[in-house]
Amino acid sequence: MLEIQDTLVSLDVFSRHFCCDISDCHGICCVEGDAGAPVEVDEIAQMEEVLEVIWDELTPEAQDVINRQGIVYADPSGELVTSIVSTGHCVFAADDEQGNTQCLLERACRQNRTTFLKPISCHLYPIRLTNVGKYTGVNYHKWDVCKGACALGSQMKLPLYQFLKQPLIRRFGQEWWDECDTAYHELMKAGYIE
């Protein structure tokens, strides 16, 4: 791991190649898993604001779940996560005509109907953040559903940290990302990564 500011960054963030391939996975990361997506407390109000904009686009089951328990709940470990429906879909996810699952929060933002893109945990995926004492751990989460993304990233020779440049800057800032970029080039020069 590398210490960059107040984070401990796994070498996988530099050595793994990755590029989301929706044609391969069909957005299954919004469906599969043990619980909903992790949510930071300050994101809840932002998601509630967007809820008014996208309410009619939510599935009837998602609307019912939100009416009963809200947009987030505490998972068994006590972490706040997005609510999910019986199929495992995040309440903010919907399937399109091609069978791809998409985030309605993100779609509304990209259509300039809102300014909140989606929870940072979703934006950063497949990176997961953990508390490591006074540090934030920045780790790669390997998951079989992302095999296509790993293959595409390898074809493109696109390191994970570069694929996630925008969300990493959103979470940690430009200076932090620049330090990551410098570390990547130093690791390459030293032969630690290809």
Q: Determine the residue type at 186.
A: E
DSSP H or E segment with residue 139 = strand 135-140
Q: How far apart are CA 57 and CA 15, in angstroms?
A: 39
26 — pLDDT class (breaks 50, 70, 90): confident
Span 71-116, pLDDT tens digits: 999 988 889 999 999 888 899 998 888 888 889 999 999 999 999 9
Q: What is the pTM of this model?
A: 0.88
Q: How far apart are CA 67 and CA 85, in angstroms?
A: 12
25 — pLDDT class (breaks 50, 70, 90): confident
DSSP H or E segment with residue 102 = strand 101-103
* pLDDT, average across residues 143-147: 85
Rg (CA), the chain: 17
User: According to the 3-state scheme, what is the secondary structure of 62-99?
Assistant: HHHHHHHHCCEEECCCCCEEECECCCCCECCEEECCCC
* Between 97 and 58, the higher pLDDT residue: 58
User: At 60, is the secondary structure helix, strand, or coil?
Assistant: helix
The number of angstroms, rounded, from the C-alpha of 104 to the middle of its chain's C-alpha atoms is: 14
- Among 26-40, 57-71, 85-99, the range of highest mean pLDDT: 57-71
CB contact at 8 A, 115 and 35? no
Span 175-185, pLDDT tens digits: 999 999 999 99
Pairing of strands 72-74, 127-132: unpaired
| Phi, psi angle pair for 59, to nearest 5° | -70, 155
CB contact at 8 A, 127 and 140? yes
